[in-house]
Amino acid sequence: MTQRTTPESTDVNQSLTLTVVCIGFAMVIVDTTIVNVALPAIRDDFGSDLSTLQWVVDGYIMVLAALLLSGGAMVDRLGAARMFRVGVALFTIASVLCGFAPDSMVLISARLVQGVAAALLMPAAMALLTQAYPEPASKARAVALFTTVAGSPQAFGPVLGGLLVSTIGWRSIFFLNIPVGTVTLLLASRGGLPRPALRADRGTDVAGQVLAVLALISVTGALIEAGEKGITSVVPITAAVSAIVFTIALVLRERSARSPLLPAKLLGAPGLSAYVVVGLLLFGAYYGLVFALSLYLQQVHHLSAFATGLQFLPSALPIFLLPVIAGRLANRWGPQRVVITGLATAAVGALSLLAVGSSSSPLMLSISLFLLGCGVGLTVGPQITLVINAAPPQYAGIASGLLNAGRQTGSVLGVAVLGALAGASDRVAGLHGAVVTAAVILAVAVLLGGLSRRSRSDEKPHRSEPANAGRADDTTRVS
C-alpha cells in the first residue's frame, strides 16, 4: 500500500495537545452517561415510553459505534487535527439542537448527529495523542493521564447530570457542551497540534460502512423492541432477520472490497482483536448496569436525579483515580495481567449487586459500585496500551476507531439487553436479571483475556517511526 508522508511538526506543544485532546474527548464521553439520570425528566416532559428512552441513550452510542471505523480511516487519510476540529464543531452544534428539541423524535435525531461528530473526534483524539508522544515511556504516561482526565466525565457524568437536572432542568446537560466545545476550538486554534508523519492513502468503503450501520441499527432495534413489545412481536423479529441479512452482506462485502473498513494487516496484529472484544464486554456490562440502576433507583426508591447521581460516586472515584496507578502496575506486571485483574474485580462488584433489593442498604450498594468502579478503572488504561502497541503505526487512527467502536458497540448492546431485563414488571427481579447477565458477561471477558495468546504488544510497544522518516522522498512504499 502506498503511503503519503507529510512533514511532522518540529515544535509540537505536548502539553497543549494533551489538554485539547482531553477536553474534547471528555465532552463526547460525558454524553454517554450524563443522560441516564435525566431519563425520567425527559419521559415526563415528552410522555416517552421505555423504548424511546433507550433510543435516546443508544441512538447516540449506536451511530458513534457504527461510524468509528470510517472516522478512524478519515483521520488516517485527512489528518487528525483537521478531523478533531470538525468533530468538536459539529458536536457543539448538535448539542444545541438537543437542548432545544421540542419532542423525543427531534431529540433522538439530534443525538444521532452527535454520534456522527463523536465518530470523527474520538479516533482523532487518540491519533493526536500517539503523534504528540512518540516515545513509549512518555506515551504510557500520557495515556495514563489522558485516561484519568478524559475518563472522569464518564465516571462523574451521573453526578453532574443529576445536579443539572435537579436545579436547571434536563436541557442544561446538552447546553453544557456549548462552552466546553467553544473553549476546545479556541485552544486548538492556537496551534501546537501535531501533523501526522504518515498518512494512509486508502479509499473509503462506503457500501461496507452503510451495511455496518444498518446491521448495528437492526441489532439494537431487535433488542430494544423485544424488551418493550415481546420477543415474538413482528417488529423485533423483522429487525433480527434484517440484522442477520445485513451482517452476512457486510462480511461478503469486506472480503471483496478494495479498501475494507478494517485492513487485513490491522486485523492480523497479534492480540488486537481479543482486547477489542474485551472492551466491548466490559463497556456492555458497565453501561448496561448504569442504565438499569438509574431507572431502578428513581422508579423503585423514588430518588431524585441528583440523589441518584450521588449513588454512583463510589464507582466514579476509582474510575477517576485508578488509571494512573493502573499504568504503573502495567509497566511492572504487564498490561494483560492488570486487565484480567480489573475484569475479575468488576465481575465481583457486579455479582454483589444481587444484594440490592427494594429495601437494600445504601452501604451494600456503595460497596458493589466501588468494586465495579475499581474494575473499570484498572482495565481501561492498560487496554488502550495493548491495542495501541499492537497496531501498526500507520493505522493509529483506525486502530483507535476499532477500539472505541468495540467499546461503544458494547455500550449499545448493554443498554439494550440489560435495560430490557430491568424493565420487567417486577423491578427487583428485573434488576437481578440484569445483574446476573452483567456478571456473566464480565466472566467471559476474564476468560477471553486470560486465554488470549500473549503478543509482543504485551511485552514491548512498536518502535515509533523516526521523526525524519520519509522526508527525503514524498512517497514511501510500506510493505
Instruction: Please state, as a whole number, how many other Cβ atoms lie within 10 Å of the Cβ of residue 232.
Output: 8
Tell me what pLDDT residue 371 has.
Answer: 94
Instruction: Please state, as a whole number, how many other Cβ atoms lie within 10 Å of the Cβ of residue 138.
Output: 12
Instruction: Please state, as a whole number, how many other Cβ atoms lie within 10 Å of the Cβ of residue 150.
Output: 25
Q: How far apart are CA 279 and CA 123, in angstroms?
A: 15
Closest CA to 155 of 368, 376, 339, 356: 376
CA 333 to chain centre: 26
**Three cell numbers written together for 38:** 435525566
Instruction: Please state, as a whole number, how many other Cβ atoms lie within 10 Å of the Cβ of residue 392.
Output: 18
Q: How far apart are CA 88 and CA 33, in angstroms?
A: 18
Closest CA to 34 of 290, 214, 288, 283: 290
Asked if residue 33 lies in contact with residue 162, where contact means CB atoms within 8 angstroms, the answer is: no
Per-position b or e across 55-69, b if 16+ CB within 10 A of its CB: bbbbbbbbbbbbbbb
Type of residue found at 122: M
CA 274 to chain centre: 17
3-class DSSP state of 269? coil
Q: How far apart are CA 262 and CA 267, in angstroms?
A: 7
3-class DSSP state of 108? helix
Instruction: Please state, as a whole number, how many other Cβ atoms lie within 10 Å of the Cβ of residue 475.
Output: 10
DSSP string for 117-184: HHHHHHHHHHHHHHHH--SHHHHHHHHHHHHHHHHHHHHHHHHHHHHHHHHT-TTHHHHTHHHHHHHH
Tell me what pLDDT residue 181 has.
Answer: 92
Type of residue found at 404: N
Instruction: Please state, as a whole number, how many other Cβ atoms lie within 10 Å of the Cβ of residue 373.
Output: 26
pLDDT in tens, the chain (479 residues): 444 444 344 456 777 888 888 888 888 888 877 888 888 889 888 888 877 888 888 888 888 877 877 787 788 778 888 889 999 999 999 999 999 999 989 999 999 999 999 988 988 887 888 777 777 777 777 777 777 776 666 667 778 888 888 889 899 999 999 999 999 998 888 765 666 554 555 566 778 778 888 888 888 778 777 766 677 788 888 888 998 998 898 888 877 777 777 777 777 667 777 888 888 999 999 988 988 888 888 878 888 878 888 888 888 888 888 877 887 888 888 888 899 999 999 999 999 988 876 556 778 888 999 999 999 989 988 887 788 777 777 676 677 777 877 887 888 888 888 888 887 667 788 888 889 999 999 999 998 877 665 444 444 444 443 333 333 333 222 22
Place of cell 442477520: 244
**Three cell numbers written together for 120:** 470523527
Using CA atoms, how far residue 313 sits from 153, 239, 332, 367, 368, in Å, is 12, 37, 29, 11, 12
Asked if residue 457 lies in contact with residue 389, where contact means CB atoms within 8 angstroms, the answer is: yes
Tell me what pLDDT residue 6 has.
Answer: 42
Query: Torsion over CA of 98, 104, 108 and 111, rounded to 10 degrees?
Result: 20
Q: How far apart are CA 24 and CA 185, in angstroms?
A: 9
Q: How far apart are CA 434 and CA 145, in angstroms?
A: 32
Asked if residue 243 lies in contact with residue 211, where contact means CB atoms within 8 angstroms, the answer is: no
The length of the chain in residues reads 479
CA 306 to chain centre: 24
Q: What's the sign of the alpha-carbon dihedral 303, 304, 305, 309?
A: negative
Asked if residue 48 lies in contact with residue 413, where contact means CB atoms within 8 angstroms, the answer is: no
Q: How far apart are CA 257 and CA 239, in angstroms?
A: 26
